[in-house]
Homo-oligomer: A and B are copies of this chain.
Amino acid sequence: MPITLYDLAGADPALRFSPYCWRTRLALAHKGLAVEAVAWRMTEKDRIAFSGQGRVPVLVDGEKALCDSWAIADYLDEAYPDRASLFGGSAGRAHARFINGWADEILNPGIARLVLTDIASVLDAKDRAYFRQTREQRFGLPLEQVVAGREERVVTWRAQLAPVRNVLARQPWLGGAAPDYADYILLGSLQWPRCVSRFALLEEDDPVAEWQRRGLALFDGLLGKAKRV
């Protein structure tokens, strides 16, 4: 039985854009595990109720059902120890937690403020109403006001990537000589706006953009060939 991933989709079921689901897609590819990534919409809470919560990624591997991208990566390294490691051992895992926390707490909220309206526009009607209501409550503003002035604000957002540039000046991947889960965290974050928006987050000559282009080619172009708006 293949592994199943419940994967956030837009009105177009081929459009997949959740940063957290992309982390899992990349982790599965790194482990060389086949997956059936089934389209799932934000309001289809009943379809993943078996996981005990209402967000994706949700992974089903035989009898096991898991949620949360970090817990799924942990599971994959433990359940498939003979395949390439995602974390490279306990210190690699411990330190990757920081990169995961930085992406979740700093990077992703900043991306949301740049592309919220673009996300809304790719959703089907029911999800769009749900998304607008929950996000406007979270940000305390209409989505259009949150996103306003993004051409100027993106400069500040880019400055927050300084630690990534610092690393890439010294090694080709966040994982060192080869990509690992640390790279997939950040590639997942950048795949999110890449799929839903034509707004350019990175300048072409940014070392982070150069690294992203190499990431797009990984696993036979898993990210690079993905559907975009």
CB of A105 closer than 8 Å to a CB of B: yes
Residues of B within 8 A of A98 (CB): 95, 98-99, 102, 163-164, 167, 174, 182
A55-63, A83-91, A113-121: which lies at the interface: A83-91
Helix, strand, loop or mixed for chain A's interface?
A: helix
- Give Cα distance in the complex from A225 to B177, angstroms: 40
Q: Is the CB of B163 within 8 A of A106?
A: yes
Min CB–CB distance A111 → chain B (angstroms): 15
Q: Is the CB of B88 within 8 A of A162?
A: no
Min CB–CB distance A99 → chain B (angstroms): 5
Q: Is the CB of A176 within 8 A of B101?
A: no
- Give Cα distance in the complex from A105 to B161, angstroms: 9
Residue from A88, A89, A164 whose CB has the most chain B CB atoms within 10 Å: A88
Residues of B within 8 A of A30 (CB): none
Q: Is the CB of A92 within 8 A of B88?
A: yes
- In A164-215, which residues have CB < 8 Å from any B CB? 164-167, 170-171, 173-177, 180, 182
Binding site for B on A (CB under 8 A): 85, 87-102, 104-106, 160, 162-167, 170-171, 173-177, 180, 182
Q: 15 A-B contacts, Cβ less than 8 Å apart?
A: A88-B91, A88-B94, A90-B176, A90-B177, A92-B92, A95-B174, A95-B182, A97-B171, A97-B174, A98-B163, A98-B182, A101-B166, A102-B163, A102-B166, A104-B163
